[in-house]
């Protein structure tokens, strides 16, 4: 299990989970995964110095009212790199975290050795409207996100205490601030993806029902030279549904791309 430290990034306090040795790899989690140290993170920590901050308002990180747009989060993570004195990192983001990672890459590809996006949301894809998941009951949520529903247990809340329910509300509030409308995308991002010069790997669950494979094709078209790996036994979260295979793919892609330091 990784150590949790409290870090202040330009006045914004956050929790940072960190473990492993090697080149620094910044992992940006998806909705509901803040403060978690999961199997695939442990696998990555065998080869990388894995930094897993909880987004403000997620996990143990307090809410930050100044964050009202997805680009605020991208700037927040650029500030994090500066705070930690990291010139360059491998950047990995899943779902919502993938969206932040893509925004960051359009701003500062020169800070990235590699970019891995796991079933990211964040762009408008013709013919597809993301199913609205705020307010749905937990069973429907799991049915939409997971191909293997058992994998959802890794994200199950510890209990139903008032503090836990308040934490869940804080998380969904932090999400809603940046993604309620437009829902799950930034209309400006898609055109900007062409600015990404970092070697990019797209990892996608074959059975993703939130952002289906058609979305993967759109991302591949927009990011110059991006590669796509499909995970056949996964829905929206292959890092939870096929953690070993996903970690192996990330290591295979990122390890050779590190700069000597």
Partner 1 sequence: MKFYYFHLMPYPMEHDEPSSWVTLSNRHYDPVVGQRLYHEYLDQLETAERLGWDGICVNEHHQNCYGTMPSPNVMAAMLVRRTSRARIAILGNGLPLRENPLRIAEEIAMLDVVSGGRIVSGFVRGIGPEYYSTAVNPTHSRERFYEAAELILRAWTEPGPFPFDGRFYRYPFVNPWPRPLQQPHPPVWCPSQGSSETVEWAARRRFPYLMVFTPITRIAQIYGEYREACERNGYTASPYQLTVNLPICVAENDRKAEAIARQHALWVYHVGLRMLPGYWQPPGYTTEASLKRLLATRGKMPTELTYEDLEEGGYIISGSPATVRDKLRVFSDELKAGIVCSGMNGGSHEATLDMMRMFSEEVMPHFREDAAVDETVGVGR
> Given the complex with partner 1, which of 180 and 191 has the nearer CB atom?
180
Q: Kindly determine how many residues on this chain lie close enough to bind partner 1 according to the rule CB under 8 A.
A: 19
> Given the complex with partner 1, which of 134 and 156 has the nearer CB atom?
134
Q: How far is the CB of 156 from partner 1 (least distance, A)?
A: 17
Separation in Å, CA 137 to CA 132, 144, 167, 183, 212: 12, 11, 17, 18, 21
CA nearest 122: which of 149, 146, 93? 93
Structure-block tokens of residue 223: 């990011």
* Distance between CA atoms of residues 73 and 177, nearest Å: 11
* Distance between CA atoms of residues 40 and 23, nearest Å: 17
Kindly tell me which residue out of 1, 127, 181, 259 binds partner 1, with binding defined by CB under 8 A: 181
Dihedral pair phi/psi, residue 110, rounded to 5°: -70, -10
Kindly tell me which residue out of 176, 188, 194, 214 binds partner 1, with binding defined by CB under 8 A: 176
Dihedral pair phi/psi, residue 23, rounded to 5°: -65, 145
* Distance between CA atoms of residues 144 and 227, nearest Å: 25
Kindly tell me which residue out of 25, 123, 151, 175 binds partner 1, with binding defined by CB under 8 A: 175
CA nearest 21: which of 43, 46, 3? 46
Kindly tell me which residue out of 162, 187, 259, 260 binds partner 1, with binding defined by CB under 8 A: 162
Q: How far is the CB of 177 from partner 1 (least distance, A)?
A: 5
Start-end of H helices in the chain: 39-45, 70-84, 96-108, 138-145, 162-179, 189-192, 213-222, 238-241, 243-254
CA nearest 89: which of 109, 70, 112? 112
Kindly tell me which residue out of 169, 194, 224, 225 binds partner 1, with binding defined by CB under 8 A: 169
Kindly tell me which residue out of 150, 153, 156, 165 binds partner 1, with binding defined by CB under 8 A: 165
Kindly tell me which residue out of 166, 188, 194, 214 binds partner 1, with binding defined by CB under 8 A: 166
Q: How far is the CB of 34 from partner 1 (least distance, A)?
A: 15
Q: Return the range that interacts with partner 1 (CB under 8 A); candidates 103-111, 118-126, 165-173, 215-223.
A: 165-173
> Given the complex with partner 1, which of 11 and 181 has the nearer CB atom?
181
**17 is an interface residue for partner 1 by CB under 8 A:** no
**136 is an interface residue for partner 1 by CB under 8 A:** yes
Kindly tell me which residue out of 180, 188, 194, 232 binds partner 1, with binding defined by CB under 8 A: 180
Cβ-contact 203, 116 below 8 angstroms: yes
* Residues 66-85 contacting partner 1, CB under 8 A: none
Q: Which residues bind partner 1 (CB under 8 A)?
A: 63, 132, 134-137, 162, 165-166, 169-170, 172-173, 175-177, 180-181, 183
């Amino acid at each position: 299990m990784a150590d949790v430290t409290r870090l202040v990034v330009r006045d914004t306090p956050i929790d940072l989970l960190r473990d492993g040795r090697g080149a620094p790899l910044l992992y940006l989690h998806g909705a509901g995964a803040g403060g978690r140290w999961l199997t695939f993170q442990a696998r990555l920590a065998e080869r990388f110095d894995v930094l897993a901050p909880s987004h403000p308002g997620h996990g143990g990180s307090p809410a930050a009212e100044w964050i009202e747009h997805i680009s605020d989060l991208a700037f927040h993570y650029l500030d994090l790199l500066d705070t930690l004195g990291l010139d360059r990192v491998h950047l990995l983001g899943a779902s919502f975290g993938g969206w932040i990672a893509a925004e960051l890459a359009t701003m500062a590809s020169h800070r990235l050795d590699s970019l891995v996006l796991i079933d990211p949301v964040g762009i408008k894809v013709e013919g597809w409207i993301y199913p609205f998941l705020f307010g749905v009951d937990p069973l429907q949520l799991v049915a939409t996100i997971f191909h293997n529903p058992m994998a959802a247990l890794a994200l199950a809340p510890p209990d139903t205490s008032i503090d836990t329910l308040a934490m869940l509300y804080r998380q969904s509030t932090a999400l809603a601030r940046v993604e309620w409308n437009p829902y799950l995308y930034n209309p400006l991002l898609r055109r900007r993806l062409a600015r990404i010069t970092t070697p990019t790997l797209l990892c996608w669950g074959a059975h993703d029902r939130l952002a289906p494979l058609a979305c993967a094709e759109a991302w591949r078209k927009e990011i110059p030279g991006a590669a796509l790996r499909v995970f056949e036994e996964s829905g929206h979260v292959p890092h939870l549904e096929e953690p070993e295979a996903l970690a192996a793919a990330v290591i295979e892609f990122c390890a050779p791309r590190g700069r000597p330091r």
